[in-house]
A and B are shown apart, each in its own frame.
Chain A
């Protein structure tokens, strides 16, 4: 009865169906694997570079370059910065999240967004604003101040998402077992926040290791700023490479810590059924202090940078909007951002596809190689690409292609995480259902899998775009001669102490970042349950 529906191959004589076609693996898995392997290999270039450079330097030279006073200073600076800033970020992030999500804080909906807002301000813009406010700023404590204000949202966002999702029944059970409010918080709520806290803290630590602009602006030396200085003076000296190895070593330690802290713990809600709304603790007399705390934090982390950027803009007058400099930088940035976001999404798709649809040690190894690379500071990726391209493919040196490739490696996980979540919304069964309804694999892939993954992929692409717009370090190293982005132009102006001239670029970066930050905030609420 269905012969008139049949494709030409299967109509006619029934015994000729398939005509000796050899069975082959399902749609394009092998091709996808090959692409994924190539990308993974490319992603190992930065790590490989560090290893090869360290080996090439020779043991004695390496030891001499690593164990010296200057490295000790940098080590102390970097470690102190982390030891002081990370706990502060955790306290501010978790405290803010708790006030916003679990107390009767007035206007908690607005505060919830405002506490995430500092993420829209690149750390080096924050630094610039603080230096404008207090010109004498410098040294460790300034570094701690700026780092904490810039990065506490990295703890706040996952903590708030988790707190908002915690099953109140668990806390009610604790109460019924005789625990008071405080003991419930420390024994039941806080442990459930562990993944959010450690994940956020390690992300803060990685940012501290990788940040260049914010610390260079206040003349606080870390490994990254020192590597940049070495690079600018000797271009490709062994000393700089050794600093990079030490930096990479720290990043890898953090990465291992991250993986270990995740462990096999599972704090997702067990059981089905509708979940009650989170409980809110009445603040009563603490309402005013809580409001002051949140308002103060927001003012310092978001209000102050914005105010000083605007002050410079008014002080600078219309002259700072020199269109011949400003417009090209804007267009260049948007171009890099779009191209990088697109490339990253395209590259991330096969990886995510393998991980979700064909999970194996192989897909896990591929993903791991990506996360290793993403933990590499922009300066290491930049150095690696400069060196490798000069030696292996000089025609790519200082080209847009190389810069985009570096962006892809740096920001791949942002796209990967999103596309993975999207693919989880498009289970294999839907693809199969489409095929059982007569759609060839390619058609069903496009009409079902790709279609269902598209929104999440777009979200990932937006985050990559945001990251590229604010990227400074790798862009400084890799951008083709004569090209300017908002970040590099801001940097060169503010390095020349032309603070008014830098202001429009800062404002634009903030304006572009703001909606993306909001998107990130919204997204975190959705994925927290997984």
Chain B
């Protein structure tokens, strides 16, 4: 947990974050990944990934496609061998250091992108696939009872057990896949983009249902996704992956509001990035002076704000001219060209200290009628900004 601080001191206007206790440093860690690498031929897919997942916690590994997140999941499942480093489950090394536990002995549940239901078996046979000959010696009747129980657990009618996978909708298939994975009562569940094949409405509903089931069962869960909104809403720990490395690990609120670098900031959501001058803990930019919690440097920096932190005010010194607007129904995005604030323009700060002025930024507002191209609006900033040093990732 590189960033495990709570955010009780977060700006009050922002939503109160869900901080799961499991994010605390791992005294009861379930999964430990230590400096794992993986190459496919000459291509380095994972370049040393270290991650710890607490028992019962929900971790989302999020990153753009090709960042190595699915490979990491497959390593945990035991479908691939790590190049170097080690993976351990509940304290037992399952890969690396000369150890290798094959997938079928890891007791890890796995739900693939499209569900990977066996097309030649019925729903019931799919769900009971992992059960046979292991525990349920009570015969067919007990298997059938268990299948019904599992289907109900994922909000499916037990009568569906007789159907074939192709007779189900995408969302139902995913639920069956989850029920099948839950049948063996795994302590760790791996979900590989299980919702991405579903259409938008179904995706949210299925995600909620799955999260509920897994939470109630107390299963440690790792979700791989390229959808940052899904990651933020599903998990209590988000690991941002980029170029085979973990760029940031933390609870959703922290990684969203205080991203470690500019690329992470932009990946996790819309970001307003402005050149600024840092003095003490105050950054001066086209939006005026904005507090920064832990300035990484003094002097020239870049600051990052989320669009929802920028509000339209009745009056004030910070102004922008509307360039254009996009109407989305519940909200309207407004592109504004920022003016140079008068106190700065008047020479309150020397030019070299203030690099900004004239940037075009995007903000959001619920009221579409408030802005028309050419109108001048007054703006104010809520909360703190995050500053990135110019030499690092902050370089434009």
Contacts and interface: CB of A to CB of B under 8 A. Distances in A.
Chains A and B belong together in one complex: yes
Nearest to A444: B104
Interface in B147-199: 177, 180-181, 183-187, 190
Contacts of A10: 92, 101, 105-107
A347 interface: no
A20 B79 CA distance: 18
A438 B110 CA distance: 11
A437 B179 CA distance: 11
B103 A17 contact: no
A437 B127 CA distance: 10
Given A4-B135, A429-B114, A16 B92 contact: yes
A5 interface: yes
A440 B101 CA distance: 11
A14 B92 contact: yes
B184 A432 contact: no
A5 B103 contact: no
A8 to B, nearest CB: 10
A433 interface: yes
Nearest to A16: B92
A229 to B, nearest CB: 53
Contacts of B106: 10, 436
Contacts of A507: none
Interface string B314-330: 00000000000000000
A2 B129 CA distance: 16
Contact of A433 (B90, B110, B183, B187): B110
Interface string A419-449: 0000001010110111111111100100010
A44 to B, nearest CB: 28
A18 B87 CA distance: 12
Interface stretch (B115-123, B276-284, B296-304): B115-123
Interface in B77-116: 77-79, 81, 89-95, 98-110, 112-114, 116
Given A10-B107, A435-B102, A17 B114 contact: no
B130 interface: yes
Contact of B99 (A17, A440, A444): A17
Given A15-B92, A18-B93, A18-B94, A437 B130 contact: yes
Interface in A1-35: 1-2, 4-7, 9-10, 14-24
B134 interface: yes
A70 interface: no
B112 A432 contact: yes
Given A432-B77, A438-B184, A439-B130, A20 B99 contact: yes
Given A22-B98, A432-B77, A448-B118, A7 B103 contact: no
Classify the secondary structure of A's interface with B.
Answer: loop
Contacts of A183: none
Nearest to B130: A437
Contacts of A526: none
A22 B92 contact: no
Interface residues of A, number: 37
Contacts of A24: 100
A452 interface: yes
A280 interface: no
Given A6-B107, A432-B77, A435-B104, A15 B91 contact: yes
Contacts of A358: none
A329 to B, nearest CB: 39
Contact of A5 (B81, B94, B180, B184): B184
Interface in A434-489: 434-441, 444, 448, 451-452
B110 A432 contact: yes
Contacts of B107: 2, 5-6, 10, 438
Contacts of B119: 425, 452
B110 A436 contact: yes
Contacts of B130: 437-439
B116 A432 contact: yes
A432 B70 CA distance: 14
A430 to B, nearest CB: 5
A452 B120 contact: yes
Contacts of A20: 98-99
A2 B187 contact: yes
Contacts of B109: 436
Contacts of A18: 92-94, 99-101
Contacts of A436: 77-78, 103-104, 106, 108-110, 181, 190
A433 B112 contact: yes
Interface in B133-149: 134-135
A399 to B, nearest CB: 39
Nearest to B115: A433
Contacts of A434: 118, 129
26 contacts: A2-B107, A5-B184, A5-B185, A10-B105, A15-B92, A18-B101, A19-B99, A20-B99, A21-B101, A22-B100, A427-B116, A429-B112, A429-B113, A429-B116, A432-B79, A432-B103, A433-B177, A435-B78, A436-B109, A436-B181, A436-B190, A437-B180, A437-B184, A438-B134, A438-B184, A452-B119
Query: When A and B form their complex, which 5 residue pairs have the shortest distance between CB atoms, in order from nearest?
Result: A437-B130, A436-B110, A435-B103, A14-B92, A18-B99
Interface of B: 77-79, 81, 89-95, 98-110, 112-114, 116, 118-120, 129-130, 134-135, 177, 180-181, 183-187, 190
